[in-house]
Structure 1
């Protein structure tokens, strides 16, 4: 259970405070409710590019990292489909410095052409290194547009095409910044060794006078319900074949997320999981298998991927996966299996509540997704999942007409 206090400044900034006096540090997260979902289809990658530019200094403080490191702080950031999160940790006595730095770059970011061009080149190189150089790394570039036809989730956070990044201008980045980087589109969460009243006073001092933005709710294209199986075959210079099957699932905030997460663990978490035991160990159809969820604010994906054993065709491998999925849909799992997976999942959740950085992040993310109070219900929502829920959600998920499959083939 993570206790916290939440309130809103007059300019719309949401503030969440959690006290943990067991640590000499405090963690700060500043989440802007903007991600790749908010980009124009011809300027994909802009949210991530702006994240890079945010570390290039302001008109007042030209060297953000030096200022933070000077008081013993560490920082980083990430952009995903739904949010951009700037996070740091500092010795508790330097809270004021941390707040001053974040408030300053919310309003005074210095868009210096030379620095902007450098960061744009860095992101282009990151795109090449991450997706075009290493084996299998372009899978997400192929899978997302196969699964999504209308929704902005059809492109990766780093961008759909290098051209989009290369053609982004300084002025376009400025417009994106002034549109989305404002207090009424942000969530400030603090966790650690803090005095609540002092923290409130400092937050008001540095953020209270920042004017509201002109933010309007984004109206995103609604993804049509998938009604047919989709399939793609590609050849690449890779050492082995890979099978990828993706299914449209639930939003992270929906009730179905919890059985879906447990289904993922049932299928591939540990040697005794269904796919590992049956297809990797016993039948030796695969040498490696895993499942994952994208955990997005709108409907995400449930993804299965595996590397077939030598001599096993991708078609045979795919048929074997579907056999196991049909078994899961039509046979009740054992109570012991479900309890084991719940215990594993909740153990990971309990560990996440120990770390102040993770607590600050979770409070901010849950608030951005829905509301921070949801965090108190996570354990019970997992505990409430029963065998009938597993069967019901499996039947929703694992349908041929809800599947997108890639045969990722090694060149002969």
Structure 2
């Protein structure tokens, strides 16, 4: 059980804290409630661009990394369709450096054409490297646009098109920052060998003077229910063919989320999982196969990706996958298989939250979802999933009219 403290500053910044005296280190995780889903369809990639711009210098600190490194710290950040997350670690006695750095770039970035151009080129090169020039790199764009027709999950975090970032103006960038990078749109989690009293004192000192901002109300279009199978076939210069099969699933706060997560593990987590054991090891239809969920805040996707073994086609792989899905729909999961997956989740939860940085990240995330205290209840929620619930979810989800299928063919040599 993780002991959790919370406080909200007058400007709306939520502070979440958990002390860990077993380490001499501290972690600070700052989560902004803005992701790619908050972008306009013709201005995508901005949330990810800001992940980079936040390291380009702020109003009083021209270089973020140097003072942090001088204090013995490290940092990183990531963005997805729902949130943007910044985190750093450093010796606990230098924790004030972290508050100083993060508060200054929340106060205001050093907006200038040079910084924008530098980070714009970094993001454009990342887009080219990961999504245009890498084998299978455009599959996220293809699958998302196939599955989502109105919801902004239809584009990945990197953005829909390079031109959106290439054409971003300084005024548009400023507007995005002051709408979303606000204390009343953020959660600050502090963990490690730092007391709650010290955390509140530093939060008030460094973040308290930052004014609340007008955060746009989120009013996203809801994806209509899919009623017929969708298929797409592409040919690319890749090593081997690949099958991408996905199904619409519930949102992160729905009780069935845990069942979906467990189904993905039953199908493909480890050598004894169904798809790997039967299609890779025993029948040797696939050279590799994986199943996973998107885990997104709004209604997400259940993904299955498989590559055929020599002598087999994408049609063979698709047929074999559907046979396994029909089996999991037809026959309840036995208790041994169910317990194995539940035990794995409990072990991951226990060992994952030994690390003070993981705790900081998780506290911020769960506070954003609903409340940080729910982190202590995750194992119980997985434990409560029954074989009957798994079977029902599989029967409702793994049906042709809820499926999106991408055949990604290798060019003939």
**Same fold, TM-score > 0.5, yes or no:** yes
CA distance in 1, matches of 2:376, 2:347: 15
Deviation at 1:59, TM superposition (A): 2.4
Runs of 4+ in 1 over 6 A off after TM superposition: none
What secondary structure sits across from 2:315 in the alignment?
helix
Q: Secondary structure at the match of 2:239?
A: coil
For 1:171-186, what aligned pairs fall within 5 Å after superposition?
171-186=171-186
CA distance in 2: counterparts of 1:77 and 1:333, whole angstroms: 39
Aligned to 1:189: 189
Report the Cα offset of residue 222 of structure 1: 0.7
Aligned to 2:42: 42
Paired residues, what number? 412
SS at match of 1:31: strand
1:61 aligned onto 2:35: no
Q: Kindly provide the CA deviation profile for residues 106-125 of structure 1, in whole angstroms up to 9, marking residues without a partner as x.
A: 01210121111011011000
What is the CA-CA distance between 1:170 and the residue it aligns to?
Answer: 1.1
When the two structures are superposed, what TM-score results if normalisation uses the length of structure 1? 0.98
1:233 matched to 2:227:
no
What is the correspondence of 1:225-374 to structure 2 with a 5 Å cutoff? 225-374=225-374
Deviations 1:232-287 (A, max 9, x none): 00001111111110011121222111111111111011121111111111211111
Q: Which residue of 2 aligns with 1:21?
A: 21
Contact 2:345 2:379 in 1 (8 A): no
Instruction: Kindly state the Cα deviation for residue 196 of structure 1 after the two structures are TM-superposed.
Output: 1.4
Inter-partner Cα distance in structure 1 for 2:270 and 2:61: 49
What is residue 70 of structure 1 aligned with on the other side?
70
Partner of 1:384: 384
Asked if residue 104 in structure 1 is aligned to residue 104 in structure 2, the reply is yes
**What corresponds to 1:141 in structure 2?**
141
Displacement after TM superposition at 1:345 (Å): 2.1
The alignment's TM-score, normalised by the length of structure 2, stands at 0.98
Q: Secondary structure at the match of 1:78?
A: strand
Secondary structure of 2:232's match?
strand
SS at match of 1:290: strand
**What is the distance in 1 between the residues matched to 2:300 and 2:292?**
11
Distance 2:209 2:58 in 1: 18
CA contact (8 A) 2:179 2:216 kept: no
Q: Which segments of 5 or more consecutive residues in structure 1 lack a partner in the other structure? A: none
> SS in structure 2 opposite 1:190?
strand
SS in 2 for 1:401: helix
Tell me, in whole angstroms, the C-alpha distance in 2 between the residues paired with 1:217 and 1:381: 31
CA distance in 2, matches of 1:137, 1:2: 39
Partner of 1:167 in structure 2? 167
Task: State the 1:297 CA deviation.
Answer: 0.5
Q: Which residue of 2 aligns with 1:203?
A: 203
Q: CA deviation at 1:94?
A: 1.0
CA distance in 2, matches of 1:22, 1:62: 34
1:33: which partner in 2?
33
CA RMSD of superposed structures (Å): 0.9
